Structure 1
Amino acid sequence: MQTEPLISLDPSWPKVTLPQAEALLTPAGSKFEIETVDIRGVPTRTWKNAPPSLAWLIQASRAHGENVFTVYEDERVTFEANYRAVAHLATKLQEMGVVAGDRVALAMRNLPEWPVIFFAAASIGAIVVPLNAWWTAGELEYGIDDSGARLLFVDDERYQRFVEAKPALPALEKMIVARASGTLEGRAERLEDLIGTPHDYASLPDIPFPQVAIAPDDDATIFYTSGTTGNPKGALGTHRNLMTNILSGGYAGARAMLRRGEAVPDPIPRTMLIVIPLFHVTACSASLMGVIATGSKVIFMRKWDVIRAMELIESEKVNVTGGVPTIAWQLIEHPERHKYDLSSIEAIAYGGAPSAPELVRRIHEEFGALPGNGWGMTETMATVTSHSAEDYLNRPTSAGPPVAVADLKIMDDDGVTEMPVGEVGELWARGPMIVKGYWNKPEATAETFVDGWVRTGDLARLDDEGFLFVVDRAKDMIIRGGENIYSSEVENVLYAHPAVTDCALIGIPHRTLGEEPAAVVHLAPGMEASEAELQAWVRSKLAVFKTPVAIRFVAETLPRNANGKILKKDLKALFEDRVGVPA
C-alpha cells in the first residue's frame, strides 16, 4: 500500500520518468555511460567511467591538493598529505613482504590513519580486512584467523584489548599500533615509527607511488557481515565493487535533479560528518569513496555525541550527515538544538536500517534539508537503490529505485518463481556492486549467490515503477496464527506517534498462536505515553492482530550493532513474563 506523500508536491513533478532520466544520463560519451562486461561469467552492466581500482583513486585524489580531506579534533589532513602518507605506508608494506592477495586486517576507531592504512594495503594488491572495532578480543581473533591476515593495524584501545586477552593468533606476523599509550610487547610496533602522526603527513618526502597491476575485479576487501546466528561471514569484495558506488551515488543525485526539472551541475566539494564506523560498507564504500572522488571534507568523531555533533555542524559548516535513522532522530529531538546554527545542513541520509515516514517529514520541515536513504547490504558493498528529495517525500516508506546498473526481482520461496508487481517475496539483487562470495565458505556462497544474483534474505515488494519497499527481514517476520506481521509496518505507525522516538517490534512465543507481536519503545525527551495509549494508536491504523500485545518502555535508545540494525534478540528478555500468556 502506497503511503500518502508527506508534502504537497508541484503538480508537474516529476518532470521526467525514471526511464527518461536514465536515457538522458547514460548515452555514449556521458559521465554515466553504461557498458556490459563479463564478471565471473555473467554479462553485467557497469559504469564505463568508474575508476578501475582503489590505487587509481587515491593517486587521482592528489589533484585535490591542499583541500582538507579528514578532520579529527585538532588534526586536519589535506589530500596531498594523505596521499604522501599512503605512498609511504604502501612502500613500507612492500618492504615487509606484503604482496598481492595477502590479507591486512584493520581494527580501529574512525581516525585519520584509517583511510591511510586502507588505501596503502589495497594499492599494492593486498586484501584489506576492516574488522568491527566493537568486537571483543575473541571476536577479533576469529576475524583475524578466518581471513588469514598476516598483519594487523589497531589503535591503542584495540591493542590493550589484545594484551589483556592474549589471543594466540599463530598466523599473525606483526601488529602495528596507532596512538599507543605505552610500551609495546612482542610482535607489535608503532605506526608513527613508519609514517609519523597525522600532523606529520604533510612533511613526508614526495616518493614514487608503488605501481602494482590491479584489475577491476581483483580482490580488494573482506567485510564481515553482522550475522545474528553463528560466526559472521567475510564478504569478499573487489575494486569494482567499491568504485561502482562513486558513480552510483552521482547518478542518483543527478536523477533527482532531472526529476525536479533542473540541470545537473558538476560535482562540488561538500563537508560530511561521518559518524558510523568505517568498517561498515555504508561509511567506507558509499560515503568515503565519494568524498575522495569529489575532493570533499570528512569529519570524524571519536564516538557519537549529539551535542558534539551539533557543535561540529556549526563550526565546520557541515552539509551532509546521517548514517542511521537514530542519529537523525537525536538531532531532531534534542532539546538544545535551537542553541546551534545547523543551517548548513543540506541533506541527512541514512541506510542500514528502515526509517519511519515521520522522520522523512521532520527532516524536511525542521531542517529544510532533503532526506535520503537507500538499500544495500554488506554483500552488495552498499548502494543498490537510492532514494532522495521529492521521490523520497512522495514515497516515504520506499527505499527507492535501483541505480541504472542494478537489477532487482522478487522471488517466491522456491527460489525459481518470480513474483508479480506488488507481491511480497524475497528480494534478489544483481549488478557490478555484488561481491564475489563469502571468504572460504563455498557452501554458503553457493546458497546465497546464484548466477550473478544475491539472495538477500529481505522480504520486499516492487511497485509498478520499480521502487523498492523492504517490509522485513525474513527471519524477523512475525507469524501470528498463520497471519504475517511485518515489523516495519507496525514500527512506522509507532514512530508516527509524537511521543515515540525509537521502537522495535519483536515476536514472542505463544503456545497456540506460535508467536505474537510485542514492542519496545523509547520516548522522546519530556514526552509521555502509556502502553494502552500506544496500543490504541496502532489499533486505530492497522488490523487488530498487528497490535502489540505488550509494550515495554526503555530509558535509552535501543541497542544496535555497528551497522545501525537493532539487536532484537537482546530485547526478548523484556517479555519473559509474557511467554505462553493466553490470547
Structure 2
Amino acid sequence: MVHVKSLLPEPPSAPIINISTFLLEREGIPDHILFINSLTGEAWTRARFIDRVRRLQCLLPTARAQGGFDVHSSEMVAVFSENCIEYVALMHALWALAIPFAPCSAYATSNELVHCLRITGASTIFCHANRLETTLEAAKVVGIPTSKIYILDGETTREFKSIAQLINSASFPRTLPSKAVPVKKDQLAFVLFSSGTTGLPKAVALSHNNVIHHTFQRLGWLQSMLQSASPPPMAPSGGLSVTLGFLPIFHTYGLHSFCITPFFLPGTVVLMPRWDTNKGLELIPKHKVTTIVAVPSVIHQISRSPKLAETDMSSVFSLASGAAYLSPSLSKKLSGQVGDKTMSAISMICEGQLGGKWRYIEGCSGGLLPGMEARTVREDGTEAEYGETGELWLKGGNIALGYLGNPKATAETFVDGWLRTGDLFKIDQEGYFWYQDRGKDTLKVSGMQVSPMEIEEALLRHPGGLVQDVAVAGVDIALRGSTVVERVPRAWVVLTDQGVKAEPDSVRLELEAWIQKQLSRYKWLKGGIAFVDQIPKSATGKVLRRQLVEEHSRQNPVHVSSRL
C-alpha cells in the first residue's frame, strides 16, 4: 500500500502572520533591482517597490471623495490584467491590508469574467486599460458600478483613473505605514480559478498561512538540495538570479514565481506582459537572464524558433517547466540546444503543490516537498501499490482551504485533510512520482485548464438552436514538424432538426465562430467538430468520453516527425 511522506526534513511550523509581514518586513535584505519592465526597460528597486505598496496601503481604504479607492477588508477585489509591475504591487498592498482578491484570467471573455465576479462576490475591479471594454460589459451584468472600476496600468480616460494617477495626485502622511495588519489562522488571502468536471471554473481559496507554509517548504527543499551531492545550479559568483517573467501571474505558477519567490530569495524579474517568442529571446542576452520558468508549449516554441541559434543563451543556468507534462524528448532537445542545461520539472496546481526534483531522472515529476504526504488510490478507493497507477492524493499545510462558496465541490475534492488531485500517478519505492494521465475530464492546453463541460454549455447556448446534444473531450494532435503531441478540445455534436437541414460545413463554421466569440483562445475546438447521431452514455447518463476519444484515435492515428 503506497502512503509516503517527504524524505526531506520537516519544515518549521509556519507562524500565523500576514503574507506581507513575512515577505516585506524582513530585515537585512540589501536594496537591489527587483523588477524590470520588459517594454520600457524601467527598473524598480526593492525600496521603490515597497514604497509603492505602502502608498497603496494608505489609499486603498481611503474614501473616493478624498482621492482613494474606497476598498475595505470586507470586500473581494477582482484583478483583470496582463502582467505588469503595478499588478504585483497591488497584490502586496491588498495582502498588507488583509483584503482578499481574485486574479482573473487576462484572456477571459465578458461571459467568463461575469462568472468569476459572481462566484467570488467581487465588488471592486482593477483592470488593465486594454481590458476595460470587457470589464465594463461584465460589471454591468453583475451590477458593479463604474465608480468601483480602476485602471491598473495602460492608457486612462477622464472617467477611469489609474493607480499611478491617484498616487501622484494624493497627499500622504509624513510617515507611511510600515507594517501589515494581523491575520487569523486560515484567513483568506486570495482565490485562484481552477476548472473541474463540474464545468465552470471554481474559486480555490488560499490562506495567508498556506502561502507561508509553502514558502517554508520551498526554503527547506532548497537547503536540502544545496547540501546534497548534486546541488541545483545557482547564480554565478553569488550574484542575483535574473528571471524572465512571462507566465501569467493570475495562474498559481506565475504568481509564486514572480510575486512571492523574489521576496524571500532575492533576485530580479524581467516582467513581460505575456509570452512572445522573439521578444523573449531578445531579452535573454539583453538582461543576462539566468532563470527561465516556462510551460511545455513555450519550451516547444523556443526550441522551434529560428532565432534560437543566433541568441546568446550562455547566461541561462536554470530551466524549469511546469503546469503540464513535459515530454522527455522535448526536455532533452532544448537542454542540448542551450548548452546542455538540465531541465527541471515543477508539478503545481491551484489547490496545492507536489514538489520538485532533488536529482534529475528523465520523465520523472519529482518528489514531495518537505512536510507533505501522498498516496495513490485505485478507483475502488483502496491504496495502490508501488509502481501501480492511481489517483494522487496529497496532504500538507500548503493545501488550499477549499472552493469558495462551493461546499459540494469542496467535500468531493478535500477529504479528511487530503486533496484529491484527479491526476493519475505511479510512485516508485524511492519516493519519486511518475505522471501517467489526467484523471479528471479537465484538459490542460498549453498549461491552462479547460473544462469540457464549459465548452459543451457554450455550444448548447448557440442562439440558432442547432445543437441538441454535445460531448467535448481531449484528442491528441501532432504539432507540425515536431515530436510534440498536444491534447486539444474536440466536440461531438448531435444536431437538431434545424441543424440537420443546414449545410454541414456552414454549421461547423458557425459553431466554431460562436465558440471563438464566447471562450478564450485556448478553449477553442482545435480538435475539430464531428456530427454524430447520438452521444454514448452509461446507464446513469454519464457521457462516455473515453469511448469517443478511443474511436477517434483509431480512425485518426497521430503521426509525429522523427526529427528532433
Give TM-score, length-normalised by structure 2: 0.73
**Matched residue, 2:406:** 441
Separation of aligned partners in 1, 2:246 and 2:319: 12
- Is this contact kept in 2: 1:107–1:155, CA < 8 A? yes
What does residue range 343-382 of structure 1 map to in structure 2 within 5 Å?
A: 343-367=314-338, 368-380=340-352
Quote the sequence identity (%). Answer: 23
User: For 1:399, which of 362, 365, 373 is the aligned residue?
Assistant: 365
Q: Is 1:176 aligned to residue 150 of structure 2?
A: yes
SS in 1 for 2:435: strand
Pick the aligned partner of 1:408 from 369, 374, 380.
374
Is 1:234 the equivalent of 2:206? no
Corresponding position of 1:339: 310
**RMSD over aligned Cα atoms:** 3.8
Q: Against the structure 1 CA distance between its residues 322 and 336, is the aligned structure 2 distance closer, same or farther, given a 3 Å change threshold?
A: same
1:215-226 matches, cutoff 5 A: 215=184, 217-226=186-195
SS of corresponding position for 1:523? coil
Tell me if the contact between 2:475 and 2:527 (Cα under 8 Å) persists in the aligned partners.
no
Q: State how far apart, in whole Å, the 2-side matches of 1:361 and 1:264 are.
A: 17
Which residue of structure 1 aligns with residue 356 of structure 2? 386
Structure 1 residue 315 displacement after superposition: 0.9
Match of 1:123 in 2: 96
Instruction: Measure how far apart 1:248 and its partner are.
Output: 2.9
Instruction: Find the counterpart in structure 2 of residue 497 from structure 1.
Output: none
* Corresponding residue for residue 279 of structure 1: 250
- Say if 1:377 and 1:165 are closer, same or farther in 2 by CA, change over 3 A: closer
Q: For residue 576 of structure 1, report the CA deviation from its aligned partner.
A: 6.2
Alignment pair present for 1:253 and 2:218: no
2:161 maps to which residue? 189
1:473-499 Cα distance to aligned partner (Å, 9 max, x none): 11459xxxxxxxxx99xx9xxxxxxxx
Distance 2:194 2:345 in 1: 20
Note the C-alpha offset of 1:101. 4.4
Distance 1:213 1:194, change over 3 A: same
| Residue 166 of structure 1, CA deviation | 6.2
Q: Is the 8 A contact 1:422 1:461 kept in 2?
A: yes
SS of 2:326's equivalent in the other structure is coil
Q: Distance in 1 between matches of 2:226 and 2:31?
A: 30
Structure 2 letter corresponding to 1:110: N
Deviations 1:335-383 (A, max 9, x none): 2212221111111112110010112322432323221112121111xx3
| Displacement after TM superposition at 1:566 (Å) | 11
Displacement of 1:435 in angstroms is 0.5
User: How much has 1:171 moved relative to structure 2?
Assistant: 4.8
Q: Return the offset for 1:262.
A: 5.6
For residues 299-352 of structure 1, the C-alpha deviation after alignment (integer angstroms, 9 at most, x for no partner) is: 111231111111111011111113201222222222221222111111111211
Q: Does 1:70 align with 2:35?
A: yes
1:83-133 CA-partner distances (Å, limit 9, x unpaired): 011111111112245443421111111101011110111111111211111
Tell me, yes or no, if the aligned pair for 2:197 and 2:440 is still in contact at 8 Å. no
User: For 1:571, what is the secondary structure of its paired residue?
Assistant: coil
Are 2:526 and 1:571 aligned? Answer: yes
Q: Aligned to 2:182, which of 184, 208, 213?
A: 213
Give the residue type in structure 2 aligned to 1:238.
Answer: S
Alpha carbons of 1:568 and 1:470: their partners in 2 closer, same or farther (altered >3 Å)?
farther
Deviation of 1:179 (Å): 3.3
Question: Relative to 1, partners in 2 of residues 1:210 and 1:103: Cα closer, same or farther, differing over 3 Å?
Answer: farther
The residue type equivalent to 2:54 in the other structure is A
Shift of 1:264: 11
Task: Check 1:358–1:68 CA distance in 2 against 1; reply closer, same or farther (3 A cut).
Answer: same
- CA–CA separation in structure 2 for the residues paired with 1:21 and 1:260: 15
What's the CA shift string for 1:115-174, capped at 9, x where partnerless? Answer: 111011111111121111110122112212221122211110111223456623325661
Secondary structure of 2:479 counterpart: strand
Indicate the SS of the match to 2:142: coil
SS at 1:56's partner residue? helix
When residues 293 and 528 of structure 1 are mapped into structure 2, their CA distance, relative to the original with a 3 A threshold, is closer
Q: 1:53 to 1:384 in 2, by over 3 A?
A: farther
- Greater RCO between the two (CA within 8 Å, min separation 6)? 2
Deviations 1:480-537 (A, max 9, x none): xxxxxxx99xx9xxxxxxxxxxxxxx9xxxxxxx99996311134xx799xxxxxxxx
Residue aligning to 1:421: 386
Amino acid at match of 2:155: S
Secondary structure of the corresponding residue to residue 408 of structure 1: strand
2:450 maps to 1:450? no
How far did 1:192 drift? Answer: 1.9
Partner-residue secondary structure (3-state), 1:129: strand
Q: Would the aligned equivalents of 1:59 and 1:83 in 2 still touch at CA under 8 Å?
A: yes
Report the equivalent of 2:511.
none
Q: 1:471 to 1:444 in 2, by over 3 A?
A: same
Distance 2:136 2:474 in 1: 44
Against the structure 1 CA distance between its residues 301 and 576, is the aligned structure 2 distance closer, same or farther, given a 3 Å change threshold?
A: farther
C-alpha distance in structure 1 between counterparts of 2:393 and 2:523, whole Å: 24
1:94 to 46, 61, 83: 61
AA matched with 2:83: N
1:458–1:262 distance in 2 versus 1, CA, 3 Å: closer
Equivalence for 1:548: none
Residues 94-173 of structure 1 aligned to structure 2 (within 5 Å): 94-96=61-63, 98-163=71-136, 167-171=140-144
**Counterpart residue identity of residue 52, structure 2:** A
Deviations 1:23-44 (A, max 9, x none): xxx4xxxxxx63xxxxxxxxxx
Moved more, 459-468 or 250-259: 250-259
- CA distance, structure 2, for counterparts of residue 181 and residue 272 of structure 1: 27
Q: 1:264 to 1:278 in 2, by over 3 A?
A: closer
Is residue 101–residue 219 contact of structure 1 (8 Å, CA) maintained in 2?
A: no
In structure 2, give the amino acid aligned to 1:155: H
- 5 Å matches for 1:503-542? 519-524=476-481
Alpha carbons 1:128, 1:222 under 8 Å: kept: yes
- Structure 2: which amino acid aligns with 1:127? P
Whether 1:474 aligns to 2:439 is yes
Give the Cα separation in 1 of the matches to 2:143 and 2:434: 46
1-structure distance, mates of 2:474, 2:109: 32
Unpaired segments ≥5 residues, structure 2: 64-69, 446-451, 453-470, 485-515, 533-547, 556-564
In 2: Cα distance, 1:313 partner to 1:183 partner: 35
Instruction: Check 1:474–1:528 CA distance in 2 against 1; reply closer, same or farther (3 A cut).
Output: closer
Contact kept? 2:127, 2:135, Cα under 8 Å? no
Change (3 A) 1:301 1:156: same
Residues paired across the two proteins, number: 465
Name the CA shift for 1:363/1:53 in 2 (closer, same or farther; >3 Å). farther
Indicate conservation of the 8 Å contact 1:249/1:290, yes or no: no
Find the counterpart in structure 2 of residue 79 from structure 1.
46
Go from structure 1 to structure 2 and tell me whether the alpha carbon gap of 1:52 and 1:129 turns closer, same or farther (over 3 Å shift).
Answer: same
Greater shift in the superposed pair: 205-214 or 121-130: 205-214
TM-score (norm 1): 0.71
How many Å separate the matches in 1 of 2:162 and 2:523?
A: 39
**Residues 145/48 of structure 1: CA separation in 2 closer, same or farther (3 Å cut):** same
When structure 1 is superposed on structure 2, of 308-317 and 295-304 the one drifting more is 295-304
CA distance in 2, matches of 1:52, 1:287: 21
